[in-house]
Amino acid sequence: MKNFLGSSIKDLENVALEYGQAAFRGRQIYNWIYNYRNKNKNIDQIEVLPLDFRKKLKDNGFKVSELIVKERNLANDGTLKLLLSTEDNESIECVGIPTEKRLTACLSSQVGCPMDCKFCATGKEGLKRSLKASEILDQILFIEHEMNRKVTNIVFMGMGEPLLNIDDILLSIRSINNDFQISQRKITVSTVAAPK
Ligand code: SF4
C-alpha cells in the first residue's frame, strides 16, 4: 500500500510518467490530495484523471487516505476533537483549536506512547506503534475538512513522543511546510525528550 500524502509535485509527476501519463497528471493528483474540500478520499474521486489511470493506481495499491472518523466532539469554544480509526483498527486523536485568525491542529505522532508520564492517560496504554507520515498529514486534512478552513499552525502535542518517530515526523514537517504551505515558524514539536 502506497499513500500519496507526503508526496511532492516531483514525486507525483514521476508516478504519472511511470504509468505512461503526461507529467501534468501528477500535478492534478497533487492539487487534489492536498485540498481539504475533496471529501471522499479515494482515487476514484479524482475525476480529472482518466479512468484507466485511476484503475491502475488502485490496482497497484495507491491510496489517498487510510483514516476514518469514529467520533467528533465539538466544545462550546469551537475546539473540535476527532477520534480517528487507522487501517489496522487502532485509534488516534487530533484536535482543531480555532481563533479568529488561526486554526491550530494538535497532531498525534504515535498510537499510544511508551513514555508513561504520570499525568497522562495516553502513557498508561503503552506504545502500540508509530504513525506513518501519511497518517500524520491526514489528521490535518480531516481537521480542515471538518472545520471548513485551512489549518494555520501545527503542534505535535497529541498522542506519542515525536522524537521516537523522528523519521516520519521530519517527512511530515517537510510536507506541512511545502505542500500545506505552513511556515516552519508555525510548527511546534512538543517533546519530553526521548531517551537515547
Ligand atoms: S510523552 Fe506525551 S503522550 Fe507520551 S506519556 Fe508523556 S505526555 Fe503522554
Q: What is the full DSSP assignment across 78-120?
A: S-EEEEEE-TTS-EEEEEEEE-SS-EEEE---EEE-SS--TT-
Tens digits of residue pLDDT in 65-74 = 999 999 999 9
Mean pLDDT along residues 34-63: 94
Ligand 1 pocket, CB under 6 A: 113, 115-117, 120, 122-123, 159-161, 192
Q: What angle do CA 114, 187, 90 make, to 5 degrees?
A: 35
Over residues 121-125, the mean pLDDT reads: 87
pLDDT value for 39? 80
Report the separation in Å between the CA atom of 147 and the middle of ligand 1, taken as the mean of its atom positions.
26
Q: Which residue has the cell 501534468?
A: 24
Mean pLDDT of 111-118: 93
**24: helix, coil or strand?**
helix
Across residues 91-117, what is the average pLDDT?
A: 96
Q: Which atom of ligand 1 is nearest to the CA of 161?
A: 1
pLDDT (mean) for 85-107: 97
Model pLDDT, residue 68: 96
β-strands 80-85, 68-74 pairing: antiparallel
The mean per-residue pLDDT over the stretch 146-175 comes to 97
User: Over 80: is that where the pLDDT of 195 sits?
Assistant: no
Architecture of domain 68-189: Alpha-Beta Barrel (3.20)
pTM for the structure as a whole: 0.95
pLDDT band, residue 78 (cuts 50/70/90): very high
Report the C-alpha gap between 150 and 118 in whole angstroms.
Answer: 34
| Phi, psi angles (nearest 5°) of residue 49 | -85, 145
Q: How many CB atoms lie within 10 A of CB 186?
A: 15
pLDDT tens digits, one per residue of 21-31: 999 999 999 99
Mean pLDDT taken over the chain? 95
Among 113-122, 123-132, 145-154, the range with the most confident prediction by mean pLDDT is 145-154
33 CA distance to ligand 1 middle (Å):
30
Q: What is the CATH number of domain 2-63?
A: 1.10.150.530
> Domain map of the chain by residue range?
2-63, 68-189
Confidence of residue 1 (pLDDT cuts 50, 70, 90): low
Given 3-state DSSP classes, what are the helix, strand and coil percentages for the chain, each rounded to the nearest 5?
Answer: 35, 20, 40
The residue count of the chain comes to 196
Hey, which of 161, 165, 166 would you mutate to test ligand 1's pocket, going by the most ligand atoms within 8 Å of its Cβ? Answer: 161
**How many C-beta neighbours within 10 Å does residue 130 have?**
20
- Judge whether residue 144 has pLDDT over 90: yes
Phi-psi category of 148—alpha, beta or left, where left has phi over 0 and alpha has psi -120 to 50? left
